[in-house]
A and B are shown apart, each in its own frame.
Chain A
């Protein structure tokens, strides 16, 4: 058992290191802006004095390295800075405590996590079941139709799927709402209904990939001797696959599920914009459009962290599920 623990700790350390380097990359990227934040906030007609004040406010007069550590320290303690838009709002309208980036992001992050979880709850069981069925009935009409459908839904853009679903499920047959106006204090069922359409869109995109990989992982094993043995014993094909092939195919399947959940993080941006879902993706895109750098930076780091974390989970789970990886030679 100690062996497993060391491996997991190693992976965790590696993940943390990656995250640290990613934060450096993001920081450097943001600092490639021409001029600096102060000019960006104040625009073209800024007086040198105003620029100087803001520069001191934001700590831009310090060196790059000390700024990086200041920013990193802030990130770690939950202080993500103040968004330019909020800063503008404050200076122009006076008074009032503006929201910090952390306050802006927190509720939206919760919304996005909710959406991702609803999606995962639908997609994972459906994908694994369909994948097993496709492996069971391989090279039949069902398999071929499933292949065409999955290929099409993998390769269509998310917004196409989203609009097709809106068209059929919200406009032509008003079953689900096409706008996901979610607010705080909504009860769970309302929330679920409102976020079902975006979740279905994401499910369509993600299920296809997971299902194909499940099918491939199982079929890969079907040529092994122990499967042959089980078959010759007279087991039913379903039992052969579920009892003998599936446990051995678990590692790649878990891996692909985690990778797809990581993919959800990217896909969520477009889908949130289509459905006006108040999640972190929409905040990100809005901030990109108005060049609200602190928010963009923070969102980017959060997305990257979630991505790395999910990949890490995939790694660890596939090690845990596979004794051969657990005891490396």
Chain B
């Protein structure tokens, strides 16, 4: 109740000071148009923004306080603000470098890039490097249970708080290095999601183009089939199929992960099918397709040489979004315990295994970092991809106003 009460008081205070701010502005600037014509909402926004900024600054200062009770409480905000500033600077430098280095084309690209997009590109690059070179970068193996090392070492590497400088991010509940597992997680989670998306695009794209080119009954059957599959919520359907697949996998000895890739690819290919069919239908009516048909070209030529190159732009943006979606679905499945199976290191599973540490945040904030690191790794990548896709869509559509 007290929370509601203090929120209400803050709101009233901001409302009042917004009015005051505009009044004072008018008075001080001799009724300049900027203040005279300022809508109340804008004044409110300014004051709210200033209050929020001041609050963040104060919270950041408190996170540096020497009193552990206060510092612990604001530790996570401090980390978040540090991360935000660090990434902003990194994205800015990355964009600056991009504007100076490279060919004319890439330089032009970087010049028009908003900071969010350059942040996205930077993060995607980092993840790609981590995923490809995981074996070289990671100090330990992903399923290596380190002998003679305590389990549940706290991240941070400070021996006084139960850390160990050799393991900057600590160890998990059976004594595996968390940093190595996070790095391998990039390879497994991202790699599997990428493969699944590729497969989904292959299935959905080729069937969609086929439906667009052939039309008639084939189109009807495929489209209605897709309609039915899309009527079932995808995560629910995936869970149902995973139940069945888990029985098959234990019977046939094929890893469950293979089934997961197939199931999610099929479910997701329905969305790709819709887009590919719509795009394909717009292209099929073009004259050059007619010309190719008259030349007597085969179906394969039509789809891959004529339609595909002209459908790349929308499909590429869709690829980013689909990848995010698949990635989140896989993470959710793993989090629920039916996705990527141990001993493969995977972020969703890591979150589930270490989730209970959150409850120690008040006394040992660094212990609570472990689940958030893995969950944050997932969030960071999807946010980055979304930023890039948003920018691509904005560029290609030239959104209204």
Contact = CB atoms under 8 A, between A and B. Distances in A.
A167 B76 contact: yes
B401 interface: yes
B45 to A, nearest CB: 5
- The CB with the most chain A CB atoms within 10 A, among B227, B228, B338, is that of B228
A137 B251 contact: no
User: Interface residues of A toward B: which range?
Assistant: 35 or more
Interface stretch (A24-32, A56-64, A91-99, A111-119): A24-32
A303 B236 contact: yes
B358 A155 contact: no
A285 B246 CA distance: 14
A32 B241 CA distance: 9
Contacts of B328: 155, 157
User: Interface residues of B toward A: which range?
Assistant: 35 or more
A219 B400 contact: yes
A308 B228 CA distance: 10
Given A32-B244, A163-B355, A265-B233, A273 B336 contact: yes
B240 A26 contact: yes
A151 B386 contact: yes
Nearest to A138: B401
A266 interface: yes
Contacts of A29: 240-241, 244
A155 B383 contact: yes
Interface in B98-122: 116
B82 to A, nearest CB: 16
Nearest to B327: A157
Contact of B362 (A171, A287, A288, A300): A171
Given A33-B244, A152-B383, A223-B400, A133 B335 contact: no
A289 interface: yes
A106 B34 CA distance: 60
Does more than half of chain A's interface fall in helix, strand or loop, or is it mixed? helix
B378 A160 contact: yes
Interface string A125-151: 000000001001111011000011001
Interface string A290-324: 01010011011001100110010000000000000
A34 B251 contact: yes
A269 B368 CA distance: 24
Given A157-B375, A164-B372, A137 B401 contact: no
A19 B231 CA distance: 8
Does more than half of chain B's interface fall in helix, strand or loop, or is it mixed? helix
Contacts of B376: 160
B110 to A, nearest CB: 20
B161 interface: no
B266 to A, nearest CB: 11
A167 B243 contact: no
- The CB with the most chain B CB atoms within 10 A, among A148, A171, A222, A262, is that of A171
A172 interface: yes
B390 interface: yes
B185 to A, nearest CB: 14
B218 interface: no
B205 interface: no
B331 A157 contact: yes
Contact of B116 (A148, A160, A163, A175): A148
B386 A154 contact: yes
Interface string A264-282: 0110011001100000000
Nearest to A135: B401
A21 interface: yes
Contacts of A288: 239-240, 242-243, 336, 338
Interface in A245-278: 262, 265-266, 269-270, 273-274
Contact of B359 (A138, A155, A171, A269): A171
A219 B399 CA distance: 10
Contacts of B382: 155-157
Contact of A222 (B243, B386, B401): B401
A133 B41 contact: yes
Contact of B231 (A220, A238, A293, A304): A304
A159 interface: yes
Contacts of B72: 172
B351 interface: yes
A308 B232 CA distance: 8
Contacts of B3: 175
B231 A163 contact: no
B361 A172 contact: yes
A167 B335 contact: no
B228 A25 contact: yes
A273 B332 CA distance: 11
B337 A289 contact: yes
A178 to B, nearest CB: 8
Contacts of A238: 39, 41
A144 B186 CA distance: 30
A182 interface: no
A155 B386 CA distance: 7
Interface in B369-401: 371-372, 375-376, 378-379, 382-383, 385-387, 390, 400-401
A162 to B, nearest CB: 9
Interface in B9-60: 39, 41-42, 45, 49
A191 to B, nearest CB: 17
Nearest to A136: B41
Contacts of A160: 351, 372, 375-376, 378-379
Given A157-B375, A160-B379, A291-B247, A219 B401 contact: yes
Given A236-B39, A288-B336, 18 more contacts: A18-B228, A29-B241, A32-B244, A33-B244, A33-B248, A137-B42, A157-B348, A157-B379, A157-B382, A163-B371, A171-B358, A172-B76, A219-B400, A220-B400, A237-B39, A284-B236, A291-B247, A307-B233
The 3 residue pairs across chains A and B that have the minimum distance between CB atoms: A156-B379, A160-B375, A155-B382
Interface of B: 3, 39, 41-42, 45, 49, 72-73, 76, 116, 227-229, 231-237, 239-244, 246-248, 251, 324, 328, 331-332, 335-338, 348, 351, 355, 358-359, 361-362, 368, 371-372, 375-376, 378-379, 382-383, 385-387, 390, 400-401
14 contacts: A18-B227, A18-B231, A22-B232, A137-B45, A155-B379, A157-B375, A157-B379, A157-B382, A171-B362, A172-B76, A262-B233, A269-B235, A285-B338, A300-B237
Interface of A: 18-19, 21-22, 25-26, 29-30, 32-34, 40, 133, 136-139, 141-142, 147-148, 151-152, 154-160, 163-164, 166-168, 171-173, 175, 178, 219-220, 222-223, 236-238, 262, 265-266, 269-270, 273-274, 284-285, 287-289, 291, 293, 296-297, 299-300, 303-304, 307-308, 311
